[in-house]
Chain A
Amino acid sequence: MSTTVIVLIVGILVVLAAVYVSWRAGRLDRLHIRLELAREALDVALVRRSAVVLELAGSRLLDPATSLVLAAAAHEARTAGPDEREHAESDLSRALRAAVDQERFREKLSESPGGRSLLEELDAAVAKVVYARSFFNNAVGVTRTAQRRWLARTLRLAGRTEFPQFFEIDDNPPETMATE
């Protein structure tokens, strides 16, 4: 075999390898974009939920004790740092369940003016947290698998993006809402 043929073959292999690597890198990049979008959507959903809860707490439609429980939990959730956020959001879910699952809570609230629309907003916000978290964790799972691949690790295809973490909270909706 002449040198030119060997050079040619090596050249082709190098090009093929480069194409493959850039395709893998492109895919990882797309996964990162999707992950960021899912993170943003989750953040929107969580912030919206605590905003609706705060509004409900300040609406004067509830008794002062329930208002205080809800306001405190929503405030904690909104101001929690990244490390405490999962805790604070879980606590908000629990506080919401305790408040909304009181006997005749929904009936009473929807009888008062403005109460019905607030309830609907609350239902939507709670459901969207469940959806957004499921979609986000899905994106995390896929991205983690891709980052762990041998090629991605060796060539550091993920660059300086950190290894994504699942967002684990208790987001079970109030019982009266789950069937609503």
Chain B
Amino acid sequence: MNVGIVCPYSWDVPGGVKQHIDDLAQALIAQGHQVSVIAPAGDDAELPPYVTGAGRAVPVPYNGSVARMSFGFISAARVRRWIQEGDFDVLHIHEPLVPSLGVLACWAAKGPIVATFHASFTRSRAIAIAEPMLRSALEKLSGRIAVSDAARKSLVEQFGGDTVLIPNGVTVSRYTEAEPLEGFGPDGRTLGFLGRMDEPRKGLPVLLEAMELIPEARLLIAGPGEVKIPKSIRDRVTLLGMVSEQDKIRAYHSVDVFVAPNTGGESFGIVLAEAMSAGSTVLASDIPAFRRVLGEGQAGALFANGDAEALAEEARKLLADPERRAKLSDEARVAVRKYDWSTVARDVVRVYETVTASAGRVEEDSLT
């Protein structure tokens, strides 16, 4: 299939949506599809062969943060030309409600158009004012995808209708191999935690409380934020702070048991999926999302949510049983495959095939 993908945010700046599009594009190419991405980027920017620049991105405050986006006549003309020349079977627009290339592409094209909604947004004056115009853009979409329940909910509340849910993927192969961090490495007594330290929902307090009950263990913590470590366990806890992507992967390989004590609010648990990709033995709270990802305990141990004693007991059992750890790690590597990008891309292709079943190709819309 010949797919045209529209990225609203600058290609030179790292970000969730950009990463999603890059992963998706690579997964589609690996499955034999032809992909062209258009994204805001300066003419001198270094781009992968499948990305076309649509002109320099301008930093604009939008939806509570500053994003680098492209709009205006020049970008509009480039998008139009890209659509004319691309001869796409399907056009896949990301964030069509963001005032950037997505809206421009919606404007300039007709035919099978699929859109993915990433962010949740609150009902704002701006959206209310622009609603008629955004609505006419939305009316052109033949298929709508949301990456999370939150994104789906805010879209449906604001504009009605329905969307299908296809969550983000994990590039499993990126996590499989890495050198343990200096001075660490699985040694039969290291626990790990990754996430914002000062967000209670991530559950670090539960883990710190449990640490008092596991005198033989030490704990490696990676993540931004600040937290007060009790004196009694201070010599057994290492704080890495915010780490690079590479060091994060190495951290997964430096621990014997990766602990996810989240007390709620996780719709998917990307951190869990990453740890499983790295082959870590996972010990997680038994919130519904984690139970699902871990196959009810098949691919990782579970403890009663919020219960530090239960956590400590499970952790001690795991640390004392290398065989069980190895088995859980193997199971985790298998179970995580269904969250791999190749699976996500397969679902996205099914959406493409659904909307192209009846419609023709993507064409330039000369009316607008």
Provide the bound-state CA to CA distance between A41 and B357, in Å.
5
Is there contact, CB below 8 Å, between B353 and A128?
Answer: yes
Interface residues of A in 117-173 (CB under 8 A from B): 124, 127-128, 130-132, 134-135, 137-138, 141-142, 145
Is there contact, CB below 8 Å, between A131 and B358?
Answer: no
The reply on B142 being an interface residue by CB < 8 A is yes
Interface of B is mostly: mixed
**Chain A nearest CB, measured from B18 CB (Å):** 25
**Chain A nearest CB, measured from B331 CB (Å):** 15
Number of chain A residues close to chain B: CB under 8 A? 26
- 0 or 1 for each of A33-47: is its CB under 8 Å from B? (1 = yes): 010011111001100
Is there contact, CB below 8 Å, between A132 and B142?
Answer: no
The reply on A179 being an interface residue by CB < 8 A is yes
In the bound complex, residues from chain B placing their C-beta under 8 Å from that of A131 are 143, 164, 350-351, 354
- Whether A124 contacts B350 in the complex (CB less than 8 A), given A130-B164, A131-B164, comes out as yes
- 0 or 1 for each of A6-35: is its CB under 8 Å from B? (1 = yes): 000000000000000000000100110010
Number of chain B residues close to chain A: CB under 8 A? 22
Provide the bound-state CA to CA distance between A44 and B139, in Å.
22
The reply on B64 being an interface residue by CB < 8 A is no
Is there contact, CB below 8 Å, between A34 and B139?
Answer: yes
The reply on B174 being an interface residue by CB < 8 A is no
In the bound complex, residues from chain A placing their C-beta under 8 Å from that of B350 are 124, 127-128, 131
The reply on A180 being an interface residue by CB < 8 A is yes
In the bound complex, residues from chain A placing their C-beta under 8 Å from that of B355 are 41, 135
Contact of A132 among B139, B292, B354 (CB under 8 A): B354
In the bound complex, residues from chain A placing their C-beta under 8 Å from that of B317 are none
* Most chain B beta-carbon neighbours within 10 Å: one of A128, A135, A145, A180: A135
The reply on B326 being an interface residue by CB < 8 A is no
**Chain A nearest CB, measured from B136 CB (Å):** 7
Is there contact, CB below 8 Å, between B139 and A142?
Answer: yes
- 0 or 1 for each of A84-115: is its CB under 8 Å from B? (1 = yes): 00000000000000000000000000000000
Is there contact, CB below 8 Å, between A138 and B347?
Answer: no
Provide the bound-state CA to CA distance between A125 and B357, in Å.
12
Provide the bound-state CA to CA distance between A2 and B354, in Å.
62
The reply on B163 being an interface residue by CB < 8 A is yes
Provide the bound-state CA to CA distance between A144 and B351, in Å.
24
- Whether A179 contacts B139 in the complex (CB less than 8 A), given A127-B347, A131-B350, A135-B355, comes out as no
Is there contact, CB below 8 Å, between A31 and B139?
Answer: yes
The reply on B177 being an interface residue by CB < 8 A is no
Is there contact, CB below 8 Å, between A38 and B351?
Answer: no
Q: Chain A: which residue is nearest B144 at the CB level?
A: A138
Provide the bound-state CA to CA distance between A180 and B355, in Å.
22
The reply on B327 being an interface residue by CB < 8 A is no
Is there contact, CB below 8 Å, between B354 and A141?
Answer: no
In the bound complex, residues from chain A placing their C-beta under 8 Å from that of B351 are 131
Is there contact, CB below 8 Å, between B161 and A141?
Answer: yes
Provide the bound-state CA to CA distance between A130 and B139, in Å.
20
Known: A131-B164, A132-B354, A137-B161. 13 other contacts (CB 8 A): A30-B139, A37-B142, A37-B358, A38-B142, A40-B357, A44-B358, A45-B354, A45-B357, A124-B350, A128-B350, A134-B144, A135-B164, A141-B162
Measured CB to CB, the residues of A under 8 A from B are 27, 30-31, 34, 37-41, 44-45, 124, 127-128, 130-132, 134-135, 137-138, 141-142, 145, 179-180
28 interchain pairs, CB-CB under 8 A: A27-B136, A30-B139, A37-B142, A38-B142, A40-B357, A41-B359, A44-B357, A44-B358, A45-B357, A124-B350, A127-B347, A128-B350, A128-B353, A131-B350, A131-B351, A132-B357, A135-B143, A135-B354, A135-B355, A137-B162, A138-B144, A138-B161, A141-B161, A142-B139, A142-B160, A142-B161, A179-B338, A180-B338
